[in-house]
Structure 1
Amino acid sequence: MSWIQRLYETYERNQSQVGIKIDESSTVLLPIGHIEARSDIEVTINEKGNFLSANLLDNKEDKIIIPCTESSAGRAGQTPKNHPLSDKLQYLAGDYETYGGKKWFGYNFFLKDLRDWAESEFTNIKLQAVYKYVKKGCLIKDLVEAKILSLNKNGMLEEKWDKDIHKSSPSTTQEQAFVRWRVEIQNDLEPRLWLDRKMYDSWINYENSRHNVKGYCQVLGKKAALALNHPKNIYSNCANAKLISSNDDKNFTYRGRFQNDKEAYGISYEVSQKAHNALKWLIAKQGYAKDKKVILCWGVAHTELPNIYGSSLDLFEEDNDQVDDKGYTAEEVAYPLINKIKGYRSKLNKQDRVVIMGMESATDGRLSITYYQDIDIQDFIERLEKWHLSCSWVHEYNQKTFFGAPSPMDIAESVYGDGKHVDIKAKMRVVERVLLCIIDGYRIPTDIVYSSINKTVHRISFDNALHDKKKKGDLNKVLSVTCALYNKYSKDYKKGEYAVTLENERKSRDYLYGRLLAVAQNIEQWALSKTNESRMTNADRLMHRFAEHPFSTWKTIELSLKPYLNRLGVNERKSRERLLDEIMSLFESEEFISDTRLTGEFLLGYHCQRQELNKKKSTEDN
């Protein structure tokens, strides 16, 4: 139960945020015994329980905080449990059936629960006013007279809202409308019950007084009122899924170890509510959610941490300078990253804990924890620093040039692509594996590296790159991400380390062949640009074959270069021929004529040479 302990501690340390919503887009940390709901109708009454007015709300209205019971928070089935205060017409309107309501009629149950609360020691004048009004049983009648609801010719509720009266209406039907309350009292500054903290406290105290099932809470370490039902709707993409549930008490469920579910675990109502509310808040605020998977990273005391799901650009954008023309090593270019991480170290509490949780809903009713890690804040920062420095390269995408590591999703898309037809579950599996490399310091998986290499060299999949700016950006992105992965792979498996800019003295066969391919691509592209032609070059088209059989493919590419070299000016042609000769002279003869497959190192040589040529061409054009 370590995860629920950490969530409970997080809630306790963020009590100042409970019930506060900064703006429309922000999330709210809910009080215990409360949920968020979207309302359709706002009813205003006075302190004597008399109807004053009503307003229809559109579907863009913010959700409100309402009290709930354990049963109503996860209600389902043919006779769903009512909420204690704000709810749908089928619960609040005593005349619901009179006007042809077809849903489960829960008015009597709602009225009894409201009376018990209003007559308890935790009551207040606003609560009593709502009870006095609801007891009259005339809500729909009043709403019809206020021209909020409309009736058909038989005097029954219309299914849809009257568009002639309401230009903007809720997305629900009329009989499913959800009602919230305003109570106007002289000298009272907050008539809106969903924002009144006294109403929060009234319900919390009343609900706590009703919990009679006592037991040992494994989080608090003492006897307390136990939770019988745990909240759902933790994550919006799997709203009915629960992390903790026990509804199967038949056959061999307990395997002879327990007599009932309470012996298997014990969590108090207070702990369950606070932990689940903290989890909802954190997921909405800073979780990484795709499909039915969610990955969450937070600090117990300081919830917001450096973004583990993003690239170095996302993490350190304001301090991450572009790589300049000098041949800097990775360490020299990495100074902005290191300085930024030092800044994080100085701000964070050294005693804090960092929690990383991965969750997935395999079925509609169950949410499983697929990954859990609880580590010291200093270890977390060190591992994050190691990742961003070891899996680093120069990237040019999202209209930015930056040095550092790609994001886990960038890596997944370099393996599978980013098209709509790509299975999001497959990409999320890659994201999870990459996060293990970041958090646990695992070596980068070989299959991910080589899948990315294979995707990169199949340039035919980017055949529209020259005509489509987005495709061209995708091509550059996949190339630089693959270079970053291979650079880390080389470090992890002790195969060497590479500078992020061109190494003119490196004589390894694969690196030199990559440089040759970049020069060939540059010559043909430069020649085509002079005649305003836009098509894939031979070097790009044959890249996959070149990676498999470099020597034999190079002969084909080299022969095809002659007409393109002739299109260039004398000085331009000589500079490119001279560069080809310089690269060729670095080869060992036996290595050059070898036709064995190239490793991912050739992409590093290709990328660095291409970057160098682009800078040189820009200078020559100027």
Structure 2
Amino acid sequence: MSWITSLYDTYVKNTSMIGNELDSEVPLIPVFHMTMQATIEVALNEKGEFRRAEIVDGSEQTIIIPCTEASSVRAGQKPEPHPLIDKLQYLAKDYDRYGEKYHGYDKYLEQLKKWADHEGVDSKVRAIYRYIETGTLISDLIESQVFTLDADTLSWGIRAEQAKPKLKPNESVIRWVVEEPGVLESRTWKSKDLMDSWIEYYLSTQQEIGFCYVLGQMVPLADKHPKNIYNMTANAKIISSNDSVNYTYRGRVESPAESYGLSLEVSQKAHNALRWLIAKQGYNRGRKTMICWTNTGVKVPDIYDDGFGFLDSEDLEQTETIDTGEYLASSLKKKLRGYHSTFDKSTLVNLLALESVTDGRLSITYYKQMGALDFIERLENWNNHCQWLHRYYRITVGQDKYKNVPFIGAPSPINIAETVYGNRKNVDERLKLKTVERIQNCIFDGTLIPLDLVRMAFQNTVNREGYTDEGLFEKSLSITCALVKKYYFDYKKEVYTMALDKERTSRDYLYGRLLAVAQNVEQWALSKAGEQRLTNADRLLNRFSTHPYTTWQTLEVGLKPYLDRLSGAGSTHREQLIDEIMSLFNPEEFMNNQPLEGEFLLGYHCQREDLRRKKEFVAATNHDENGGNE
């Protein structure tokens, strides 16, 4: 099933959401309709006589209006008018006295008359046509003090003083209210009868019939396709064939109709569904947007979030114990496993990425469709093989009080991208988003974790002095460990646990443990002395990763004064721990001064966490191995 068929199917199965503006900032809109920002509201009676006018409140400006295929993509010096609600230049007969020479009144009136004369048209349309025909709109707005006239120049009047419209008076958009006896809904942009009336009439005017590849029927074909799909690239279109001179389709076919056949209905519904999905649940950054959705409308986990984001508030409330990470890891597994009972076997999940390189074109850079159960299984596998213990999230525990909440899970794609590129400024956002897309491929296409991403994350993390914020370093460290763990599983089929493995004797892992103990000893001593600075182990982290043997000799000599300053059981335990780790080394490997690989950070992080947990246990039991908390 193609992307456009999936979007069309999504629209059909979510018709109950049409016009529901509370559901999203951009509602799912009917076919042959679009959204627009209204500035002025004009009220008429059933005979088309002027009643009043007022400035539209800012919170109510976005409305749904009828449009034609041409007006929805209008551009150029003589843009097409919308059928009913539009700018002042189309609605005012004498607009040329106050604005540009071309104003489109005649074309608007002609189009509105055809609709008003159509059998079964909504009575509101006839009332608006009668009023527009009189040509008194601007004079009525002046009389109502919405506008004021100064030497044939329109300015905002008294009624606009409080609202302070952002547009100039001659750029105003007029919306209509038609008050009829016995009719409850007088607002044209809210009337379902009026919407249905326009759809029925517009379809009756279509004469070009062709074969639609989606419906498999001979139906009216689309000639122009919608824009304004994604607000950061408002003029970009996915489907376009307006360039008959250059290279859009020339050289392969003689006309656009020969290259594809897409009905007006399918084009409208698919693009409306896409616009709605992007606004409602898209991952939108700059000129790129990515969305994940089901054809049935069933909610899926946010694939652009991490394991922490999958959890509910009820899970996060259970965070008072030291083993919070394990509790949340178990909750995450249950949450993902629970989706198996939510989805039907026929449910399909779609992933779509769009990017605009130019203002006029919106390209599909990624599209994949899979069964919902397969989707959840791949998400589970990703979280199992790329999970690690993270401590970079904070939750509110009171007024102006926060605490860090550890969680076990896979990091989000964007956090991975930011770790890969480190703290470097002026990094092109497109590079980060390309990385997000590559991670998405790892999750759902089963590709191996890219080696370049793992290496870049490692190099940025060991550059400890590049992180002025300790929290950012801790975040980078745990995310890099997750990537390294995934690397070993993908390329070497080796599974690493997050608990400290005291039996592991690999050179890189043991050197990581040694560095963690050295960092802990010096940090403990500095804390007791009230000093705040990076430890020698922190400052030499980068050098240690490239020359571990010689750097350890420097660090080991420097540890002696700190151990002497601490003394007591705690100091003795650290010295014993160093000796224990040293005894696990193969002597030849210990003296090997070659650069360390990613496993080094796994040993470093696991040893630090083991020491942290012992400190937490000491604090929780009011017992101190050295006569005071470390």
Instruction: Give TM class, smaller chain.
Output: over 0.9
Shift of 1:254: 4.7
Q: Partners in 2 of 1:198 and 1:164 — Cα distance?
A: 31
Q: 1:103 to 1:498 in 2, by over 3 A?
A: farther
- Post-superposition Cα deviations, 1:171-227, rounded to whole Å, max 9, x if no partner, equal 211110111111111221111111110011011001100110000000000100001
- The amino acid of 1:88's aligned partner reads K
- The amino acid of 1:300's aligned partner reads N
Find the residue that maps to 2:196 and give its secondary structure. helix
Shift of 1:170: 2.1
Which of 262, 265, 271 is 2:257 aligned to?
A: 262
Q: Partners in 2 of 1:506 and 1:238 — Cα distance?
A: 53
Q: Following superposition of structure 1 onto structure 2, how do residues 536-575 of structure 1 map, counting pairs within 5 Å?
A: 536-575=534-573
Note if 1:223 corresponds to 2:228. no
| CA contact 2:66–2:195 (8 Å) conserved in 1 | yes
Q: Partners in 2 of 1:403 and 1:162 — Cα distance?
A: 61
Which of 520, 523, 539 is 1:522 aligned to?
A: 520
Find the residue that maps to 1:561 and give its secondary structure. helix
2:375 corresponds to: 380
Q: Following superposition of structure 1 onto structure 2, how do residues 335-374 of structure 1 map, counting pairs within 5 Å?
A: 335-374=330-369
| CA contact 2:145–2:157 (8 Å) conserved in 1 | no
| CA contact 1:355–1:373 (8 Å) conserved in 2 | yes
Q: Partners in 2 of 1:373 and 1:104 — Cα distance?
A: 47
Q: Partners in 2 of 1:516 and 1:398 — Cα distance?
A: 28
Q: Following superposition of structure 1 onto structure 2, how do residues 268-307 of structure 1 map, counting pairs within 5 Å?
A: 268-307=263-302
2:449 corresponds to: 444
1:433 corresponds to: 438
User: Unaligned regions of 5+ residues in structure 1, if any?
Assistant: 465-470
Q: 1:45 to 1:252 in 2, by over 3 A?
A: closer
Q: 1:259 to 1:610 in 2, by over 3 A?
A: same
Identity across aligned pairs (percent)? 50
Shift of 1:336: 2.9
1:404 corresponds to: 409
- Post-superposition Cα deviations, 1:455-476, rounded to whole Å, max 9, x if no partner, equal 10001111x2xxxxxx222111
Q: Partners in 1 of 2:137 and 2:236 — Cα distance?
A: 34
- The amino acid of 2:153's aligned partner reads M
Q: Partners in 2 of 1:404 and 1:410 — Cα distance?
A: 13
Deviation above 6 Å: which 4+ runs of structure 1?
320-328
Note if 1:54 corresponds to 2:59. no
| CA contact 1:42–1:181 (8 Å) conserved in 2 | yes
Q: 1:520 to 1:253 in 2, by over 3 A?
A: closer
2:15 corresponds to: 15
| CA contact 2:55–2:159 (8 Å) conserved in 1 | no
Note if 1:156 corresponds to 2:141. no
TM-score (norm 1): 0.94
Q: 1:365 to 1:3 in 2, by over 3 A?
A: same
Find the residue that maps to 2:531 and give its secondary structure. coil
- Count of residues in correspondence between the two structures: 608
35-44 or 570-579: bigger deviation: 570-579
- The amino acid of 1:590's aligned partner reads E
- The amino acid of 1:542's aligned partner reads L
2:126 corresponds to: 128
2:489 corresponds to: 491
- Post-superposition Cα deviations, 1:28-67, rounded to whole Å, max 9, x if no partner, equal 1110000011111111111111111111124443410000
Q: Following superposition of structure 1 onto structure 2, how do residues 153-232 of structure 1 map, counting pairs within 5 Å?
A: 154-158=151-155, 161=156, 166-232=161-227
| CA contact 2:324–2:406 (8 Å) conserved in 1 | no
- Post-superposition Cα deviations, 1:149-189, rounded to whole Å, max 9, x if no partner, equal 2222x14213xx46895123222111101111111112211
| CA contact 2:41–2:54 (8 Å) conserved in 1 | yes
| CA contact 1:322–1:402 (8 Å) conserved in 2 | no
Q: Partners in 2 of 1:327 and 1:171 — Cα distance?
A: 51
Q: Partners in 2 of 1:127 and 1:388 — Cα distance?
A: 56
| CA contact 1:323–1:394 (8 Å) conserved in 2 | no
- The amino acid of 2:13's aligned partner reads R
Q: 1:265 to 1:283 in 2, by over 3 A?
A: same
User: Unaligned regions of 5+ residues in structure 2, if any?
Assistant: 395-404, 619-623
2:386 corresponds to: 391
2:458 corresponds to: 453
Q: Partners in 2 of 1:211 and 1:437 — Cα distance?
A: 46
Q: 1:567 to 1:413 in 2, by over 3 A?
A: same
2:614 corresponds to: 616
2:402 corresponds to: none
Q: Following superposition of structure 1 onto structure 2, how do residues 25-64 of structure 1 map, counting pairs within 5 Å?
A: 26-64=25-63
Q: 1:53 to 1:266 in 2, by over 3 A?
A: same
- The amino acid of 1:293's aligned partner reads K
Find the residue that maps to 2:70 and give its secondary structure. helix
- Post-superposition Cα deviations, 1:458-502, rounded to whole Å, max 9, x if no partner, equal 01111x2xxxxxx22211111000000000110011252211121
Q: Partners in 2 of 1:256 and 1:396 — Cα distance?
A: 57
1:577 corresponds to: 575
